Amino acid sequence: MKTNQAFTILSNAGGVRAARIITENNQKLSRFSVWRMARALRRGVPVAKIIGQKWFYGLRFYTNKYTLDPRPDTETLVSAVIADCGVGRTPQILDLGTGTGCIIISLVKNINGARGVAVDLSRGALRVAHRNVVTHNLSERIVLRRASFMRDIKFKEKFDIIVSNPPYIAHDDSRVDIGATHDPKMALYADMDGFAAYESIARNARGWIKQGGKIYLEIGIDMGARVRKIFESNKWNFVRAERDLSGIERVLVFAK
């Protein structure tokens, strides 16, 4: 099928932007594949899930139904960590709920000498993360491990930095857009009105981090006050909050 024909069909199904991204990332488009992608667009499937890739922090990542698609809001977390890592520092980083691996990979790529451990409970997500680690030539610097950060995991070492974009949507939250319905539920939803993961991390992560180490957490809209209270009640010291490009409080930083 000619590109202009594919563009018209895809544009009618999901808009000009979606059509442009799909056609620019596919050299050969058969009639069958175009109609299949058009149907997916009409169902609200995100473009990243359709083409199997998403750019994040200047890097390309593979994504599929087992992972959240990397989102621009999460770049706020990566930027906050990089800003705190001065020249000569080679931190050990722990990523809780790694998904595609976009956070840990972006950090290790941009912090000279950094190494990391990334955990996720989902086998499907770990396969995606492994593919991305290999693609970015970081197999020597990032270790992947299947585990749930909702429990007290045992590590051989303690870390300088912990990062996490945990599930934080309440099960009855009606604000979830149609695109998120195609993401894995275990990566989106949490008990306790969306705060269960923060409770577990606040309680367990003190045993995983070095004295003076920092933890960087992505949070949802209007969650800052309660997350701060959770961590301070578990003897974490609040350092600062970071806002995303929309001005929304998106990342909280705590120190042990």
Residue-range domain boundaries for the chain: 3-43, 55-60+66-255
Residue that is written with structure tokens 């539920």 in the block: 185
Residue that is written with structure tokens 């941009």 in the block: 110
Q: 256 near 158, Cβ under 8 Å?
A: no
User: Cα 121 to the chain's mean position, in Å?
Assistant: 14
Rg (the chain; Cα; Å): 19
Task: Tell which wins on pLDDT, 190 or 132.
Answer: 132
User: What size, in residues, is the chain?
Assistant: 256
Closest alpha carbon to 49 in 34, 32, 37 = 37
> What mean pLDDT do residues 31-43 have?
90
Q: 64 near 92, Cβ under 8 Å?
A: no
For residue 68, what is the DSSP state?
Answer: P
CA–CA separation, 109 vs 137, rounded Å?
Answer: 9
CA–CA separation, 176 vs 244, rounded Å?
Answer: 19
Cα distances from 65 to residues 52, 62, 100, 229, in angstroms, run 9, 11, 11, 34
**Residue-level pLDDT at 27:** 66
pLDDT exceeds 70 at position 79:
yes
The predicted model scores a pTM of 0.92
What average pLDDT is seen over the chain?
93
At 222, the pLDDT band (50, 70, 90 cuts) reads very high
> What mean pLDDT do residues 106-123 have?
96
CATH for 55-60+66-255 is 3.40.50.150
The Cβ-side half-sphere exposure at 137, using a 13 Å CA radius, reads: 1
Beta carbons within 8 Å of 83's beta carbon, 6+ residues apart: none
Q: How many helices and strands, by DSSP H and E, does the chain display?
A: 9, 9
pLDDT exceeds 80 at position 45:
yes
Cα distances from 28 to residues 24, 34, 40, in angstroms, run 10, 10, 18
User: Cα 202 to the chain's mean position, in Å?
Assistant: 19
> What mean pLDDT do residues 158-183 have?
86
Closest alpha carbon to 124 in 77, 66, 75, 180 = 66
**Tokens read off for 160:** 């300088």
> What mean pLDDT do residues 227-254 have?
97
Q: 155 near 126, Cβ under 8 Å?
A: no
**Residue-level pLDDT at 216:** 98
CA–CA separation, 16 vs 24, rounded Å?
Answer: 12
Closest alpha carbon to 95 in 138, 48, 44 = 138
CA–CA separation, 23 vs 111, rounded Å?
Answer: 34
> What mean pLDDT do residues 72-85 have?
96
